[in-house]
């Protein structure tokens, strides 16, 4: 679905500092991939490049074999949707209005929604358990509720590919699990999911594939069993750890050890 080829990225004012280096990745259809790594490793930069929010400096990114620069922006976002890490609005829109914005590519010539757009918004709000917030303004809801609203806005686009930058930000443990359950269900319905996360254990339960990035380099890329190993986690995150297996699902889980003084 998406191929990243020979990608290097730096900001023009500082070309000597490469944020991403020699990135080559291929994301398969109907696959749930989680990108992990320390703060400042380049995860968010990579997802923003894939989401077409940053322009590539060196290398290319392809969507279904077509270079990004050859795809019109409107057509691109009919296939790819993006959930940002943070959302800021200077106007206090209602939850319904924010989510409805995700349907804008379907609006008529005059820029108005139709009955199907409204129906789809309420379906997604109910799916995420926030239908009761529809008429509340976004400055009246919690950070966790707002995060669900932004995910809902992306889901109503009904795209084949869903990109997420730390979708569990501001969510408590129960709602973090609910979001990963939702992402897994979407993958089973045929969507391709690429998410940046800091939660290794949730990723191991729900993802098909882990990509570990450090210092702008892809260090490891593979399935859960091949990546979630004590020596790999220590190398990437510089922490002592123990990998154990969940007694029911037989899935590897990470136990961290306190930093020694």
Flag the least confident range among 96-105, 110-119, 221-230, 241-250: 110-119
Q: Go through 1-20 and write b for each residue having 16 or more CB atoms within 10 A of its CB, e for each that does not.
A: bbebeebbbbeeeeeeebbb
Predicted confidence at residue 108, as pLDDT, reads 62
Q: What share of the chain is helix, strand, coil (3-state, %, to 5)?
A: 35, 25, 35
Alpha helices in 128-172 (DSSP H): 143-155
Domains of the chain: 2-86+159-256 (3.40.50.300)
Query: pLDDT band at residue 135, thresholds of 50, 70 and 90?
Result: very high
93-125 confidence digits (pLDDT tens) = 999 999 998 888 876 655 677 788 899 999 999
Q: What is the mean pLDDT of residues 201-221?
A: 96
This prediction's pTM: 0.90
What average pLDDT does the segment 19-38 reach? 96
Instruction: Tell me if 234 sits within 8 A of 58, measured CB to CB.
Output: no
Q: Which residues pair with 255 in a beta bridge?
A: 242
Per-residue pLDDT tens over the stretch 144-158? 888 889 989 999 998
Average pLDDT, the chain: 90
Give the model's pLDDT for residue 143.
82
Give the dihedral of Cα atoms 68, 72, 76, 82; nearest 10 deg: 90
pLDDT for 104 = 83
Query: Is pLDDT at 126 greater than 90 in this prediction?
Result: yes
């Amino acid at each position: 679905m998406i191929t990243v080829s020979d990608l290097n990225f730096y900001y023009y004012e500082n070309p000597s500092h490469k944020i991403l280096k020699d990135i080559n990745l291929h994301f398969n259809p109907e696959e749930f991939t989680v990108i992990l790594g320390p703060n400042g490793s380049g995860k968010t930069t990579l997802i923003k490049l894939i989401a077409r929010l940053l322009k590539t400096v060196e290398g290319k990114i392809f969507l279904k074999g077509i270079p990004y620069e050859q795809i019109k922006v409107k057509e691109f976002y009919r296939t790819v949707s993006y959930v940002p890490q943070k959302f800021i609005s200077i106007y206090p829109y209602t939850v319904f209005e924010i989510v409805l914005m995700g349907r804008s590519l379907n609006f008529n010539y005059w820029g108005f929604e139709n009955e199907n757009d409204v129906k789809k918004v309420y379906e997604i709000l109910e799916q995420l358990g926030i239908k009761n917030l529809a008429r509340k303004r976004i400055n009246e809801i919690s950070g966790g509720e707002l995060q669900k609203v932004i995910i809902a806005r992306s889901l109503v686009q009904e795209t084949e590919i869903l990109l997420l930058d730390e979708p569990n930000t501001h969510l408590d443990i129960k709602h973090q699990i609910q979001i990963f359950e939702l992402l897994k269900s979407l993958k089973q319905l045929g969507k391709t999911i690429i998410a940046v996360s800091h939660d290794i254990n949730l990723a191991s339960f729900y993802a098909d594939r882990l990509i570990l990035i450090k210092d702008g380099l892809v260090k490891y890329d593979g399935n859960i069993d091949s990546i979630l190993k004590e020596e790999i986690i220590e190398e990437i995150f510089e922490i002592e750890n123990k990998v154990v297996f969940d007694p029911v699902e037989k899935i590897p889980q990470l136990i961290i050890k306190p930093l020694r003084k």
